[in-house]
Amino acid sequence: MAEHTLLEAVNLALRRALGDDDRVLVFGEDVGVGGGVFRATQGLMQAFGPKRVFDTPLAETLIAGMAIGLAAQGFRPVAEIQFMGFIYSTLDQLINHASRLRTRTRGRLTCPMVLRAPYGGGVHAPEHHSESTEALFAHVPGLRVVIPSSPKMAYGLLLSAIRDPDPVVFLEPKRLYRAAKEAFEDDGEGAPLDRCLVRREGNDCTLVSWGASMKETLAAAAQLAEKGVESDVIDVCTLKPLDVTTIVESVARSGRLVIVHEAARTAGFGAEIAARVADVGLYHLRAPIMRVTGYDTVMPLSRLERHYMPNAARIQAAVERSLASD
Amino acid sequence: MSNLDIHHTTLLGPDGHPLAPLPAEFANHETIRDLYRHMVLARTFDAKAVALHGSGRLGTYASLLGQEAVGVGIGHVMRPEDVLVPSFREHAAQLRRGVRPEELYLYWGGDERGSAFAGPTQDFPVSATVGGHAPHAAGVALAFKLRGEARVAVCVFGDGATSKGDVYEAMNVAGLWQLPVVFIVTNNQWALSTPRREQTAATTLAQKAVAAGFEGEQVDGNDVIAVAKVVGEALAHARSGNGPRLIECLTYRLADHTTVDDAARYRDESEVTPWWEKDPIARVRLYLSATAGWSDQQEKALLDECGTLIERAAEAYLATPPQGPEAMFDHLYGKLPADLAAQRDEVVAATKNRADG
């Protein structure tokens, strides 16, 4: 079984989807001949031709809006926004149109589109290239929000996102694009879009994260295990719809919940998880819910970003505070 | 260097006299009677909508009074397989395309089922946000082009929308890729309370096509024959693979912006009155009277027919019970996620409790 990076996994999934289904189109800025700024679409235009894989003018509103028109006509557009910092001009299209086309026409028109974007910090990128604003999208009814954290999951989740009958915002942790390789079969198998994934098991604490910060969360869990603290580590994978059941089942065993995300704390998606656990699992908790997150500051430029992003030490400290509090 | 001299077409003057020989396909009285009938029907629909709102039986509604020729002209020349991507004031085009008046009343009455058109099933629902629908039309047109279909997307927006980047982004890509799309500006001179002269320093809105690499032209938007001719030519041009066009229809919003607006706050009646003299419906009636012996009896019969049709549509709308509250979950996703099923149960239970209480 071949090993692949997360970036290669995205490319393989796109290649597979283009090969399986003539309705799939891949487009965006510099995704054609250039193969994308991270090379996620490398070779696809050459393999499938410029009618299936093509560059657009530099116009993000257009990219999202055109995807809606194509999707309503039965295509399966997979559009790339080059960096998450450029995604905000698509919000009107996503919120006012893509997410509600099915609802407002009672299913007469639908919008099976995927908007992909690399997100998150840690690669010393220029301004506007490092934010994690996934919670904005998770707030929008009618969308799905999917964030893989491993090559295998990136492959399976992206295939499922493309096959899904509704609009999906698919955020790729660019810090992990080339960080590690994982062996998996390029077998066209999708991963479920409504399920958290348990990446590590232990009964002492429940750690929940997604995307790039899974790396630090898993590292913290490994370090804690050396001290005899065994944690469940849950990869949310799909923020919307949220599989809260898997999280609550874990908290029922551990009695402790530490949520880790790179995004700013206030109204970050961790707040939603905390609220949902409090709704149905409050009496399982033996300690307050902890959040280890980016700060409520503007994402700093590259010199300070390592201070902004959660690291294994901060996560460990939160778990230890949790353990100490009953 | 592109030419910024924008061609302008008027065929039938406000007094009902042709200013130029009418094109052959519109010279027969049957076609003109058909255009006339649809304009009268649109105006009857519109008056009823305003009345329904006045008596508290319809939500906020955007009247098309004075703009009937634009929508009817467009609808007349589009083919059934074309796709209309309209703004929120294009009821006339929608009706002419086969959207049922009771469906439009349902939509404006606050019911999503009003956009589940039984007629033109691929037409977009109205865009209540301004200009955001232009990229959809580009996407629809790209779909046609990729499949090699001889179909055209028709995107209609107002003068205010031409100030938006969305519209330019859509026009730009349409020009670049020679997409089969026709952009139509219903320039009714007012974007809510902002007059056309405060939108842009451009002399015409049609010239905005030039920067996107294709032709724009103006047409008298109160002359249904001119609108049908010019839009028809643009459709043929796009359908045969020659790319987009932008058509600016010069007309006037005789009504308030919506039924909750009062235009008297920001515009003088003296500006409105001369536009009544350019009424798109009156000029065709005058033409038919002069050339086809259109009689008072025929006029009355037509008004009665439209009145009856619209009364029936209004009754059908008013007799449609609201959807159950769970309907807000029905078409949210192709398959409702499990955690939303619980929220659906919540609203059903809350409704039941209210009913029990």
Give the torsion sign (CA, B259, B260, B264, B267): negative
Counting Cα atoms < 13 Å in the Cβ hemisphere of B226 gives: 27
Distance (Å, rounded) from C-alpha B116 to C-alpha B125?
8
Residue of B nearest to A113 (CA): B139
Q: List the one residue out of A16, A4, A36 whose CA is nearest residue A150.
A: A4
Q: Kindly list the domain boundaries of chain B, sorted by start residue.
A: 8-322, 325-357
The answer to whether A281 touches A256, Cβ cutoff 8 Å, is: no
Q: May I ask the CATH architecture of the domain B8-322?
A: 3-Layer(aba) Sandwich (3.40)
> Is A241 within 8 Å of A194 (Cβ atoms)?
yes
Please state, in angstroms and as integers, the Cα–Cα distance from residue B52 to each residue in B55, B310, B314, B318, B319, following that order.
5, 12, 8, 10, 14
Which candidate, A172, A181, A175, A141, places its Cα nearest to that of A306?
A175
Average pLDDT, whole number, for chain A? 97
Question: How many separate helices (H) and strands (E) can be counted in chain B?
Answer: 14, 8
Report phi then psi at B164, rounded to 5. -95, 145
Whether residue A70 and residue B122 make contact (CB cut-off 8 A), yes or no, is no
Partners of A197 in beta bridges: A235
Tell the residue number behind the tokens 């992003």, with chain if given.
Answer: A309
Specify whether the CB–CB gap between A198 and A233 falls below 8 A.
yes
CB contact under 8 A, B338 and A142: no
User: Within an 8 Å CB–CB cutoff, is residue A106 touching chain B?
Assistant: yes
Contacts of B339 in chain A (CB under 8 A): 241-244
DSSP string covering A236-302: --EEES--HHHHHHHHHHH--EEEEEEEESTT-HHHHHHHHHHHHHGGG-SS--EEEEE-SSPPP-G
pLDDT in tens, chain B (357 residues): 345 789 999 999 999 999 999 999 988 899 999 999 999 999 999 999 999 999 999 999 999 999 999 999 999 999 999 999 999 999 999 999 999 999 999 999 999 999 999 999 999 999 999 999 999 999 999 999 999 999 999 999 999 999 999 999 999 999 999 999 999 999 999 999 999 999 999 999 999 999 999 999 999 999 999 999 999 999 999 999 999 999 999 999 999 999 999 999 999 999 999 999 999 999 999 999 999 999 999 999 999 999 999 999 999 999 999 999 999 999 999 999 988 999 999 999 998 877 665
Q: Supply the pLDDT for residue B3.
A: 56
- Contacts of residue B356, Cβ cutoff 8 Å, sequence gap at least 6: none
Strands of the sheet with A114-119, listed across from one edge: A53-55, A24-28, A76-80, A114-119, A168-173, A144-146, A238-240
Out of A67, A71, A92, the one facing B132 most closely (by C-beta) is: A92
- Find all residues with CB under 8 Å of B135, minimum gap 6, and list them: A61, A62, A64, A65, A66, A68, A69, A93, B166, B169, B170
Q: What b/e string do you get for B114-146 counting C-beta neighbours within 10 Å, with b at 16 or more?
A: bbbbeebebbbbbbebbbbbbbbbbbbbbbbbb
Which chain A residues contact residue B135 at CB under 8 A?
A: 61-62, 64-66, 68-69, 93
Can you list the positions of beta strands (E) in chain A?
3-5, 24-28, 53-55, 76-80, 114-119, 144-146, 168-173, 181-183, 197-200, 205-209, 231-235, 238-240, 257-264, 290-294
Of B229, B155, B218, B221, whose CA–CA distance to B188 is shortest? B221
Furthest C-alpha separation in chain A: 62
Q: Which of A4, A97, A124, A129 is catalytic?
A: A129
Is A307 in the active site?
no
Sign of the CA dihedral B232, B235, B239, B243? positive
Q: At what angle are helices B29-54 and B68-77 packed, to 10 degrees?
A: 130
| Contact (CB<8Å) B146/A97 | no
| DSSP-assigned beta bridge partners for residue A5 | A181
DSSP string, A142-162: T-EEE---SHHHHHHHHHHHH
Q: How many residues does chain A have?
A: 326
Q: Do B139 and A65 touch (CB under 8 A)?
A: yes
- Tell how many helices (H) and how many strands (E) occur in chain A: 12, 14
Sorted by sequence, the CB contacts under 8 Å of residue A266 that are 6+ apart come out as A296
Tokens of B251: 């007309």
Burial code (b: 16+ CB inside 10 Å, e: under 16) for A124-149 equals ebeeebbbbbbbbbbebebbbbbbbb
- Which A-chain residues 147-206 have CB contacts (< 8 A) with chain B? 164-166, 194
> What's the pLDDT at B355?
67
HEC profile for A239-252? Answer: EECCCHHHHHHHHH
Q: Do A65 and B136 touch (CB under 8 A)?
A: yes
Please name the residue that has the structure tokens 């949902």.
Answer: A276
Q: How many CB atoms lie within 10 A of CB B301?
A: 11
Phi, psi of B52 (to 5 degrees): -60, -40
Q: Identify the closest residue of chain A to B110 by CA–CA distance.
A: A104
Choosing among B103, B152, B333, which should be mutated to test the A contact, i.e. which has the most A CBs within 10 A? B333
Contact A166 B124 (CB under 8 A): no
Q: One-letter amino acid identity for B96?
A: R
Task: Please list every residue in chain B whose beta carbon sits closer than 8 Å to the beta carbon of residue A71.
Answer: 139
Catalogue the active-site residues of B.
253, 257, 266
Residue A86 in contact with partner chain B when CB distance is under 8 A? no
Domains of chain A: 3-183 (3.40.50.970), 197-324 (3.40.50.920)
* B129, B141, B143 member nearest A96 (Cβ): B129
Instruction: Please report the residues numbered 12 through 41 in chain A whose beta carbons come closer than 8 angstroms to any beta carbon of chain B.
Output: 25
SS3 sequence, B271-315?
Answer: HHHHHHCCCHHHHHHHHHHHHHCCCHHHHHHHHHHHHHHHHHHHH
Taking CB atoms and an 8 Å cutoff, what residues of chain B touch A75?
A: 143, 146
ipTM passes above 0.90: yes
Q: B-chain residues within 8 Å CB-CB of A107?
A: 116, 330-331
Q: Which of A70, A96, A102 sits opposite B139 (nearest CB)?
A: A70
CA distance B254 to B271: 10
| A49 touching B (Cβ < 8 Å) | no
pLDDT tens for the 326 residues of chain A, in order: 899 999 999 999 999 999 999 999 999 999 999 999 999 999 999 999 999 999 999 999 999 999 999 999 999 999 999 999 999 999 999 999 999 999 999 999 999 999 999 999 998 889 888 999 999 999 999 999 999 999 999 999 999 999 999 999 999 999 999 999 999 999 999 999 999 999 999 999 999 999 999 999 999 999 999 999 999 999 999 999 999 999 999 999 999 999 999 999 999 999 999 999 999 999 999 999 999 999 999 999 999 999 999 999 999 999 999 999 87
Q: What integer pLDDT is reported at residue A191 of this predicted model?
A: 98
Q: Which residue of A has its CA nearest to B132?
A: A93
Yes or no, beta carbons of B170 and A104 under 8 Å apart: no
